[in-house]
């Protein structure tokens, strides 16, 4: 079944403001004009009919197809995926605009149920592909170049061969999915979107409350942190139930599939070797003292504090101007940075702003965070933001716009090959952030402003690398602990706190209530073990940007080729033209050295 759009980009308490100008709203009519549009009913009928005929024509026969027959089969499968993806993209995007609206939630559920039911006859496809002998499949690829283009799709399917269940069990899991993880995901989304927080007499949602953690006034930050802790604490039993259920469900399925670790499924879907992820994790954890511990000690001094509290983590620096960046200025900043790198990059980004491809404003019931959803390859991506007007929001725009451009370039690969593994999906987004940051830094001559920019970038990188690896360690501990039985809220709280002090360092004290802050992180619910992809992407881009600054020949051309490849190549093949190799343990230290160098510069400013 096609993936739903997910608000999974951790905005790290993105900031706020007013007087933002006219913020864009999605125009979903490129998908469908309305939930009752006759095209939706027609496409649902088409999916049902095509799935039935696909099963009738191919079930039990895949192993006997010649190359041309297999290519026709793949094309028909891809067409079904595209139509179903259009329906689910429309239903999901419309739902995330207002998750508290019962009609939108019901429409999404109905579409999910129907697509799950209609696509049930397709379950045999992956099962039969995995029973075809290697030499037989290799012969088909050798006989037909057009079919050979789809080899990465077959490779990903066949990576699951050791973990494949019986045909009957696979069909059961497919049918049962609508009342399994997806139902608990919706409960999480609706609970989060419905939370209300009162700070200084004003009632607001989670996004605006998290925003207060970046306010200059420390009393406001503390009040917001304590209100977040109180509301999360009042709902902790619900969140604990969601996590207990999802981790247990995953453990059961992993056990049946003989997955050696809870992380194996994510590594397989990311097409990345476990040892590469372990090397990344170990390099980051070893660097905590050189990165986050050292930086937060600097920040503690800048803020004039004896001890840092959790509400100081994303505090602005004392010398930082409190300013609101209007939407038009944010747009110009990002597009100018993209244009400096390549006019083609800016040209690809421009339509997002003027064709209804971005939904930017904060609205009641809207999902928190930000994402770029590729929708389907014959339409275009959609970007969701919760734009509130501070510098970090501009970086979030640069980040999500990078995703959008990447998805546009990869669309030519077609529905089955366009999707990029999470580890590489962050490449263009983090690169877009780096382009925007470097442009701002280059245009800054004032030493104080340079310090603010550098510190902001270091914080973003710590949030992307250190914080996400700490999240990953928390998930690893959570899934391991759940194997031994039901976890109380207090038990989950203890796991959370065990990684926080280690990653943030000795500059911090932790208020009562911070132990429940695991409750609001959507990654743990929607995409287990997703979070290491952020650290992977940041380290990769640091190395990539260094290659750009070093004058790698034809860098822009190679960069666009990498993005156009989508999911058609392994990370080793994509990085080879730049002379980079993520499987080399030293690779990750190169990326971390970039962050360390910025902290060195900040320390030198104190001398």
Question: Is pLDDT at 463 greater than 80 in this prediction?
Answer: yes
Q: Which pLDDT tens digit goes with each residue over 237-272?
A: 999 999 999 999 999 999 999 999 999 999 998 888
Q: Which residues, at least 6 apart from 522, have a Cβ–Cβ distance to it below 8 Å? A: 6, 7, 8, 188, 189, 192, 368, 369
Backbone dihedral region for residue 66 (phi beyond 0: left; psi -120 to 50: alpha; all else: beta):
beta
Segment 565-571 mean pLDDT: 90
CA atoms within 13 A on the CB side of 226: 9
This prediction has a pTM of: 0.82
Range 69-77, long-range pairs (CB < 8 A, 24+ positions): 70/140, 70/144, 70/147, 71/144, 71/146, 71/147, 71/150, 74/147, 74/150, 74/153, 74/416, 76/50, 77/122, 77/125, 77/416
Asked, for residue 266, whether it belongs to a domain, the answer is no
The percent of residues above 90 in pLDDT, for the chain, comes to 74
Asked, for residue 498, whether it belongs to a domain, the answer is no
Handedness of CA 541, 279, 420, 551 (dihedral sign): positive
Q: How far apart are CA 419 and CA 271, in angstroms?
A: 12
pLDDT of res. 407: 97
pLDDT of res. 9: 38
Segment 20-39 mean pLDDT: 96
Q: How many CB atoms lie within 10 A of CB 179?
A: 11
pLDDT of res. 546: 86
Q: Which pLDDT tens digit goes with each residue over 176-185?
A: 877 888 889 9
Rounded alpha-carbon distances, angstroms, from residue 339 to 344, 404, 430, 498? 7, 16, 16, 44
Q: How far apart are CA 591 and CA 537, in angstroms?
A: 10
Segment 579-599 mean pLDDT: 88
Q: Where are the alpha helices (DSSP H) in 235-317?
A: 236-256, 264-270, 274-287, 292-302
Q: How far apart are CA 91 and CA 106, in angstroms?
A: 10
Question: Is pLDDT at 7 greater than 70 in this prediction?
Answer: no
| Nearest to 451, CA basis, from 291, 320, 295 | 320
Q: How far apart are CA 37 and CA 66, in angstroms?
A: 40
Asked, for residue 42, whether it belongs to a domain, the answer is yes
Q: How far apart are CA 238 and CA 520, in angstroms?
A: 11
Higher per-residue confidence, 413 vs 589 = 413
90 φ/ψ angles, rounded to the nearest 5 degrees: -60, -50
Helices vs strands, H then E, count in the chain: 29, 5
Structure-token match 């799935």, residue found: 51
Asked, for residue 528, whether it belongs to a domain, the answer is no
Q: Which pLDDT tens digit goes with each residue over 209-247?
A: 998 999 999 999 999 999 999 999 999 999 999 999 999
Q: Are 359 and 382 in contact (CB under 8 A)?
A: yes
Asked, for residue 55, whether it belongs to a domain, the answer is yes
Q: Are 265 and 253 in contact (CB under 8 A)?
A: no
Encoded tokens for 347: 């040209």
Segment 332-352 mean pLDDT: 97
Domain limits for position 108: 31-164
| Nearest to 390, CA basis, from 363, 366, 362 | 362
Q: Are 401 and 432 in contact (CB under 8 A)?
A: yes
* Number of domains, the chain: 1
Q: How far apart are CA 248 and CA 95, in angstroms?
A: 27
User: Could you tell me the CATH number of the domain that includes residue 94?
Assistant: 1.20.140.70
Asked, for residue 413, whether it belongs to a domain, the answer is no
Question: Is pLDDT at 606 greater than 80 in this prediction?
Answer: no
Question: Is pLDDT at 13 greater than 70 in this prediction?
Answer: no
Task: Give the H or E element holding residue 359.
Answer: strand 358-359
Asked, for residue 130, whether it belongs to a domain, the answer is yes
pLDDT band at 77 (very low <50, low <70, confident <90, very high): very high
pLDDT of res. 323: 77
Q: Which residues, at least 6 apart from 484, have a Cβ–Cβ distance to it below 8 Å? A: none
pLDDT of res. 11: 35
Q: Are 15 and 393 in contact (CB under 8 A)?
A: yes
Asked, for residue 537, whether it belongs to a domain, the answer is no
Q: Which pLDDT tens digit goes with each residue over 504-563?
A: 999 999 999 999 999 999 999 999 999 998 899 888 888 898 889 889 999 999 999 999
Q: How far apart are CA 244 and CA 487, in angstroms?
A: 7
Please provide the average confidence, as pLDDT, over all residues in the chain.
Answer: 92
Task: Give the H or E element holding residue 226.
Answer: helix 218-234
Q: Which pLDDT tens digit goes with each residue over 109-143?
A: 999 999 999 999 998 999 999 999 999 999 999 99
Question: Is pLDDT at 10 greater than 70 in this prediction?
Answer: no
Q: How far apart are CA 80 and CA 119, in angstroms?
A: 9
Q: Are 448 and 319 in contact (CB under 8 A)?
A: yes
| Nearest to 334, CA basis, from 442, 437, 457 | 437
Q: Which residues, at least 6 apart from 196, have a Cβ–Cβ distance to it below 8 Å? A: 203, 204, 205, 231
Higher per-residue confidence, 582 vs 350 = 350
């Amino acid at each position: 079944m096609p993936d739903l759009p997910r608000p999974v980009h951790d905005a790290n308490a993105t900031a706020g403001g007013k007087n933002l100008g006219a913020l864009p709203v999605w125009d979903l009519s490129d998908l469908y004009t309305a939930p009752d549009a006759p095209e939706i009913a027609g496409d649902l009928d088409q999916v049902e009919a095509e799935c039935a005929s696909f099963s009738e024509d191919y079930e039990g026969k895949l192993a006997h197809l010649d190359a041309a027959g297999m290519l026709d089969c793949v094309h028909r499968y891809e067409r079904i995926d595209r139509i179903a993806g259009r329906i689910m993209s429309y239903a999901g995007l419309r739902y995330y605009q207002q998750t508290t609206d019962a009609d939108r939630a019901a429409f999404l559920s109905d579409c999910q149920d129907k697509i799950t039911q209609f696509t049930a006859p397709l379950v045999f496809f992956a099962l039969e592909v995995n029973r075809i002998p290697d030499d037989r499949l290799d012969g088909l690829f050798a006989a037909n170049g057009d079919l050979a283009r789809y080899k990465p799709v077959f490779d990903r399917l066949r990576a699951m061969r050791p973990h494949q269940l019986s045909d009957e069990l696979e069909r059961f899991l497919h049918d049962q999915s609508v009342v399994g993880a997806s139902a608990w995901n919706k409960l999480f989304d609706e609970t989060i979107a419905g939370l209300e927080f009162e700070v200084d007499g004003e009632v607001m949602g989670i996004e605006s409350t998290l925003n207060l953690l970046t306010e200059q006034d420390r009393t406001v930050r503390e009040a917001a942190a304590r209100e977040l802790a109180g509301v999360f604490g009042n709902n902790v039993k619900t969140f604990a139930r969601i996590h207990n259920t999802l981790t247990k469900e995953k453990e059961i399925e992993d056990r049946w599939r003989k997955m050696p670790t809870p992380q194996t499924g994510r590594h397989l879907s990311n097409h990345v070797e476990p040892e590469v992820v372990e090397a990344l994790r170990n390099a980051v954890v070893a660097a905590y003292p050189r990165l986050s511990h050292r930086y937060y000690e600097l920040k503690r001094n800048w803020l004039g504090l004896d001890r840092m509290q959790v509400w100081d983590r994303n505090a602005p620096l004392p010398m930082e101007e409190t300013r609101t960046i209007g939407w038009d200025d944010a747009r110009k900043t990002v597009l100018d940075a993209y244009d400096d790198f390549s006019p083609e990059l800016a040209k690809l980004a421009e339509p997002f702003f003027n064709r209804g491809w971005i939904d930017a404003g904060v609205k009641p019931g809207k999902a928190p965070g930000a994402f770029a959803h590729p929708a389907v390859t014959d339409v275009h991506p959609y970007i969701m933001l919760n734009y509130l007007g501070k510098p970090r929001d501009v970086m979030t725009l640069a980040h999500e716009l990078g995703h959008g451009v990447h998805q546009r370039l990869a669309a030519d690969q077609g529905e089955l090959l366009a999707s990029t593994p999470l580890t590489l999906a962050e490449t263009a987004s983090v690169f877009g952030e780096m382009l925007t940051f470097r442009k701002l830094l280059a245009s800054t001559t004032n030493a104080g402003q340079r310090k603010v920019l550098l510190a902001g970038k270091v914080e973003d990188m710590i949030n992307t690398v250190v914080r996400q690896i700490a999240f990953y360690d928390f998930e690893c501990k959570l899934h391991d602990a759940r194997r031994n039985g039901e976890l109380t809220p207090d038990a989950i709280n203890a796991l959370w706190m065990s990684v926080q002090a280690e990653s943030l360092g000795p500059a911090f004290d932790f208020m009562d209530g911070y132990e429940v802050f695991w409750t609001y992180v959507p990654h743990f619910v929607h995409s287990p073990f997703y979070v290491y992809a952020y650290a992977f992407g940041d380290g990769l881009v640091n190395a990539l940007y260094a290659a750009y600054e070093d004058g790698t020949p034809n860098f822009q051309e190679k960069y666009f080729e990498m993005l156009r490849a989508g999911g058609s190549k392994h990370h080793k093949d994509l990085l080879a033209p730049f002379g980079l190799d993520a499987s080399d343990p030293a690779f990750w230290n190169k990326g971390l050295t970039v962050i360390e160098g910025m902290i060195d510069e900040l320390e030198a400013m104190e001398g």
